A = this chain, B = another copy of it.
């Protein structure tokens, strides 16, 4: 049986998981790929550190360059993360005719356009299934499974840490900061949680998903991003009363005006399957104009779940290794020459429904004043509830669900509402998606 040698750049959680899965499923993987896939070498900053995998048969090195230069290594797997030196190492590996597999979403989101061209020029594959939603084969689904469709929109829970936090807040009524601490203790959140809870990690993934969906170059800097640190258990509870769950969603939508790319807390009707995706799990809904809504669910992180996607990419490459026509499936699913720059809408121009919470003085005429301002701005109200103050002196809470409205109009209306005498705090607003 043909032996294919793989070199790993990075031997942390995902690298160790990749070695472990290749070992434990070696027989199954050979039966599927027709090859014996061998990790021959791995680089790491400190090669004396204990590893989650057996390293007896690996050549360990601190010098990634050694792996890139090894003529026996046909596939380089980049699992270091970060932009440099990952980017330079990948470019060099591609230029030496090696296929590259990466799980590096930040790198693909920021520099994928350049990297994909380099791969195509060198007639090798740059695969990145593991960069989005861990073990869920969402890149393959979008690039190949749904290739007959014009994609209308997609919406995903694509950060497990954020979903764990919102799930705990919902189930236990806890505040954000407490759950974040718990997530850090459980190892679900980093010591510096900004990438996860402020939506940057989700924005990296969303940007790639949007390009896969609409056939446009990657535009990471154009993704609108809002985190979950301002979400309160009060709003989660009020949303629940109205029949909604609050999820941190990445949404990409193609409209006649242009493309929306946004990551923000979102109310979703509790009846939708994705509203019931809890804990650290991930899921992506993709709406095609032929197939209708489809959903893909699974573990978005973890050593072996991510390794599952890394190795699927390796097997894809092995299955095509003897083929002169490489890159049969283009990196973003559309021929590079067929990618189109599409207008990307600023958040102010986007139309969504809104959940609003206003803290108001409990006196006559307040509700009338609020609803009049909304009406003046052409904003219809879907539902309204007034919650009386729990203690004397507290504010009453007015909860509103609006119909779809251009964000700019809503902001204008809220500016007027917030200037009312009886309103002393800024309104809480969370976007609502029906996902139908």
Residues in A325-341 with C-beta less than 8 Å from chain B: 325, 328-330, 333-335, 338
* Residues in B whose Cβ lies below 8 Å from that of A299: 291-292, 294
Complex: A21 Cα to B140 Cα, angstroms: 21
Q: Determine whether A160 belongs to the interface, using a CB cutoff of 8 Å to chain B.
A: no
Interface contact B328-A147, CB-CB below 8 Å: no
Q: Determine whether A362 belongs to the interface, using a CB cutoff of 8 Å to chain B.
A: no
Interface contact B328-A320, CB-CB below 8 Å: yes
Q: Please give me the residue from chain B that is nearest to A285 by CB atom.
A: B297
Q: Determine whether A369 belongs to the interface, using a CB cutoff of 8 Å to chain B.
A: no
Q: Determine whether A109 belongs to the interface, using a CB cutoff of 8 Å to chain B.
A: no
CB distance from A135 to the nearest CB of B (A): 4
Complex: A20 Cα to B147 Cα, angstroms: 15
CB distance from A301 to the nearest CB of B (A): 11
Q: Please give me the residue from chain B that is nearest to A329 by CB atom.
A: B319
Interface contact A144-B137, CB-CB below 8 Å: yes
Residues in A309-364 with C-beta less than 8 Å from chain B: 309-312, 314-316, 319-320, 322-325, 328-330, 333-335, 338
* Residues in B whose Cβ lies below 8 Å from that of A29: 147-148
Residue from B145, B276, B290 in contact with A273 in the complex, judged by beta carbons closer than 8 Å? B276
Q: Determine whether A293 belongs to the interface, using a CB cutoff of 8 Å to chain B.
A: yes
* Residues in B whose Cβ lies below 8 Å from that of A304: 290-292
Residue from B32, B290, B322, B329 in contact with A147 in the complex, judged by beta carbons closer than 8 Å? B32
Q: A215-B28, A335-B34 are in contact. Are A312 and B273 (CB under 8 A)?
A: no
Complex: A272 Cα to B22 Cα, angstroms: 30
Residues in A125-142 with C-beta less than 8 Å from chain B: 129, 134-137, 140-141
Q: Determine whether A383 belongs to the interface, using a CB cutoff of 8 Å to chain B.
A: no
* Residues in B whose Cβ lies below 8 Å from that of A289: 24-25
* Residues in B whose Cβ lies below 8 Å from that of A32: 147, 215, 330, 333-335, 338
Interface contact B311-A148, CB-CB below 8 Å: yes
* Residues in B whose Cβ lies below 8 Å from that of A405: none
Complex: A325 Cα to B34 Cα, angstroms: 13
Q: How many residues of A contact B (CB 8 A)?
A: 68
Q: Please give me the residue from chain B that is nearest to A304 by CB atom.
A: B290
Interface contact A25-B315, CB-CB below 8 Å: no
Residue from B31, B149, B334 in contact with A308 in the complex, judged by beta carbons closer than 8 Å? B149
* Residues in B whose Cβ lies below 8 Å from that of A310: 148
* Residues in B whose Cβ lies below 8 Å from that of A316: 144, 147
* Residues in B whose Cβ lies below 8 Å from that of A320: 325, 328
Complex: A146 Cα to B30 Cα, angstroms: 14
Q: Determine whether A33 belongs to the interface, using a CB cutoff of 8 Å to chain B.
A: yes
Complex: A144 Cα to B148 Cα, angstroms: 18
Interface contact B150-A145, CB-CB below 8 Å: no
Q: Determine whether A288 belongs to the interface, using a CB cutoff of 8 Å to chain B.
A: yes
Interface contact B335-A290, CB-CB below 8 Å: no
Q: Determine whether A81 belongs to the interface, using a CB cutoff of 8 Å to chain B.
A: no
- A sample of 30 cross-chain residue pairs with beta-carbon separation below 8 angstroms, ordered by A number, consists of A21-B149, A24-B150, A24-B289, A25-B150, A31-B334, A32-B333, A129-B145, A134-B291, A135-B290, A135-B291, A140-B140, A141-B145, A144-B316, A146-B312, A147-B311, A147-B312, A147-B316, A148-B307, A148-B310, A148-B311, A148-B314, A273-B277, A288-B308, A292-B305, A293-B298, A294-B297, A294-B298, A295-B298, A322-B325, A323-B324
Knowing that A33-B147, A140-B145, A147-B315 are A-B contacts, what are 14 other residue pairs whose CB atoms are under 8 Å apart, sorted by A's residue number? A17-B290, A32-B333, A32-B335, A134-B291, A135-B294, A140-B141, A147-B311, A148-B311, A273-B276, A273-B277, A290-B311, A292-B305, A319-B328, A323-B323
Nearest 9 A-B pairs (CB), nearest first? A137-B145, A148-B311, A135-B291, A294-B298, A31-B338, A291-B308, A295-B297, A290-B308, A290-B304
Q: List residues of A whose CB falls within 8 A of some B CB.
A: 17, 21-22, 24-25, 28-34, 129, 134-137, 140-141, 144-150, 215, 273, 276-277, 283, 288-299, 302, 304-305, 307-312, 314-316, 319-320, 322-325, 328-330, 333-335, 338
